[in-house]
Chains A and B, each alone.
Chain A
């Protein structure tokens, strides 16, 4: 069972370039999330999708866009990358069938913007 799969695992961009981080889950979860984690820090919520067809801003949405393509996939796009977006990006999902379900995380994408 793959769980939450993120691609790519590593990426180096130049300032101004664009890219899309892909995330897919095979657990039939309703809710999906994108977080960023800076060195030695906690996770900050960028965007989330409570259910298929809906997306909402989190704590740090500026410079990012998202697409909930279907129930399985939730992508994060950087239109014009900036050095401040150098971080590790985590995708997570949860079922929300019950309250307080745990988050399942992917293994992360390490992004460097030069």
Chain B
């Protein structure tokens, strides 16, 4: 069973602070995706990283895929209350058939 561990599990910070969320696995993934989920809704894709070592930026969010494609990080600069939500990483496997395994989640709260 593939397992994607996220850390930290919970994070409460003040507006303007920086933070990093980690997503780690012992398995190799063909790609890794980051989603954000609001209460009462399904997750919504933020970004997909495919190549080992790849870095993608989405405004104040920076995503990195590990060189070995086993881990990833999400860095938020100058967090805002609108960043509050549940952040989920998801690894895509191609061993036989496509399936997406989700991480354990990081619940972020940004205080004004």
How many chain B residues sit at the interface, stated as a range, is 20 to 34
A55 to chain B, nearest CB (A): 10
Given A42-B6, A100-B30, the answer on whether A33 and B99 have CB atoms closer than 8 Å is yes
List, in ascending order, chain A residues with CB within 8 A of B40's CB. 107-108
In contact, A90 and B48 (Cβ under 8 angstroms): no
A60 to chain B, nearest CB (A): 10
The stretch of B14-22, B73-81, B102-110 that contacts the partner chain = B102-110
In contact, B104 and A41 (Cβ under 8 angstroms): yes
Task: Decide if B31 is an interface residue (CB 8 Å cutoff).
Answer: yes
A42 to B105, CA, bound (A): 5
Given A42-B6, A107-B42, the answer on whether A102 and B33 have CB atoms closer than 8 Å is yes
In contact, A48 and B105 (Cβ under 8 angstroms): no
Point out the residue from B45, B48, B86, B102 that lies within 8 Å of A44, measured CB to CB: B102
Given A33-B100, A96-B98, the answer on whether A43 and B1 have CB atoms closer than 8 Å is no
Task: Decide if A45 is an interface residue (CB 8 Å cutoff).
Answer: yes
Point out the residue from A41, A100, A108 that lies within 8 Å of B42, measured CB to CB: A108
A43 to B86, CA, bound (A): 11
A108 to B37, CA, bound (A): 12
Given A59-B1, A100-B31, the answer on whether A42 and B102 have CB atoms closer than 8 Å is yes
A40 to B46, CA, bound (A): 19
A103 to B44, CA, bound (A): 8
In contact, A90 and B104 (Cβ under 8 angstroms): no
Nearest chain A residue, comparing its CB with the CB of B41: A107
Q: Within A44-60, which residues are at the interface with B (CB < 8 Å)?
A: 44-45, 48, 50, 54, 56, 58-59
List, in ascending order, chain A residues with CB within 8 A of B111's CB. none
Given A100-B92, A103-B45, A106-B42, the answer on whether A45 and B31 have CB atoms closer than 8 Å is no
11 A-B pairs (CB sep. < 8 Å): A42-B4, A42-B88, A42-B103, A43-B88, A43-B102, A90-B42, A90-B43, A100-B31, A100-B48, A103-B100, A106-B42
